[in-house]
């Protein structure tokens, strides 16, 4: 189980995306929002994915408001990225 949460600073223009990317190229989960109000945008995403030996995952965020837009740093809330193993360990 792979999960993430991100909060973008308020800006009423453009889109916000968060993606979980596998091995630098394959998106295995994606979420996008169109901004409709000038308030902070809190986004959460998760997916179940069976990883192989040497696989790695990244959290990729994107916004196109037309200017610099910060990700809000809030302890235990944003940004957060992690995973849990849900299965039998190989021997």
Higher per-residue confidence, 57 vs 12: 57
- The pLDDT confidence band at residue 90, using thresholds 50, 70 and 90, is low
Rounded CA-CA distance 6/72 in Å is 7
pTM of the model: 0.83
Rounded CA-CA distance 78/17 in Å is 14
What are the residues whose beta carbons fall under 8 Å from the beta carbon of 56, sequence distance 6 or more?
Answer: 22, 23, 24
Other Cβ atoms within 10 Å of 10 Cβ, number = 13
What is the average pLDDT across 22-49?
89
* Structure-block tokens of residue 70: 């910060």
């Amino acid at each position: 189980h792979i999960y993430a949460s991100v909060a973008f600073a308020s800006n009423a223009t453009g889109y916000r995306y968060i993606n979980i990317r596998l091995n630098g190229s394959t998106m295995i989960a994606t979420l996008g929002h169109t901004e409709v109000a000038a308030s902070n945008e809190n986004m959460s995403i998760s997916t179940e994915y069976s990883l192989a030996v040497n696989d790695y995952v990244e959290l990729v965020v994107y916004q196109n408001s037309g200017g610099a837009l910060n990700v809000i740093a809030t302890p235990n809330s944003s940004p957060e990225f992690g995973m849990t193993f849900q299965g039998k360990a190989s021997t």
